Amino acid sequence: MSKICTHFDAYYEKWHREIGALCYILCRERTGSLDVAFQTFLRLGGSKNPDIGEAEARILLYKSAVRLCDDFYLKRMHRMPGRKKLAAQNLSFPVTDALYALMRLPFRRRAALALMQFGFSQDELAEILGVRAGAVSALTADPAIPGWQDALESTKLTEDEALMMNDRIYTRFAERSVGVENAIHDARNAFDRALPYLAAAVLALFALAVWYVRRL
């Protein structure tokens, strides 16, 4: 078994339900959100510092969740599903008006509201979301959605989902070096994020070459 975070079991028990809710609110699709939550805990398990303390682990975990959910959207360009499509996902909770309205908010707004509800400070929110401290207040302003906190709470992982994900995580730990896998995954995501800029640069060079040839 690859070396994993010393206090992984305690951290998983403490935060798995919130991570499940955060990933669902951001991904807006249960199967995909469970996979992202799984990947999020692999990030923690394969931390470069196996003895990572609770405060640092908490920031790493939730920052990883937001980043991986963002990558989920970047790669697949998911649209907001309709009420019927959401209900067809065989969820363990109802898709209430409050939940649907919460899920229609912009990505960073949803993330900020969920993180605020989970007890993060303004400075921690800015670090996790990668935004200026001054932008946090606007992101966490009252969304005027009655009952949105209860709606968020309802999406937390069930015990069965938590046990299945924990088994899946430990199977992965036993199969391969999670630290190396995390590094490869991060490098691939960095390339995916840079690809549109590389494409734009190539097009700009092509346009410049065409302009130069026409001037000859």
Does position 190 have pLDDT exceeding 50, yes or no? no
Residue 120 located in a structural domain = yes
For residue 65, what are the domain limits?
A: 8-177
Residue 127 located in a structural domain = yes
Residue 192 located in a structural domain = no
Note the pLDDT of residue 184: 42
Q: What is the 3-state secondary structure (H, E, C) of 28-93?
A: CCHHHHHHHHHHHHHHHHCCCCCCCCHHHHHHHHHHHHHHHHHHHHHHHCCCCCCHHHHHCCCCCC
In percent, the amount of the chain with pLDDT more than 90 equals 60
Residue 109 located in a structural domain = yes
Question: Mean per-residue pLDDT for 112-137?
Answer: 95
Residue 55 located in a structural domain = yes
Residue 207 located in a structural domain = no
pTM of the predicted structure, to 2 decimals: 0.79
Note the pLDDT of residue 47: 86
How many domains are there within the chain? 1
Contacts by residues 117-124 (CB-CB < 8 Å, ≥ 24 positions apart): 117/149, 117/152, 118/18, 118/22, 118/62, 120/62, 124/59
Six token digits for residue 163: 């046990």
Residue 28 located in a structural domain = yes
Residue 41 located in a structural domain = yes
d(CA 25, CA 22): 5
Mean pLDDT rounded to a whole number for the chain: 85
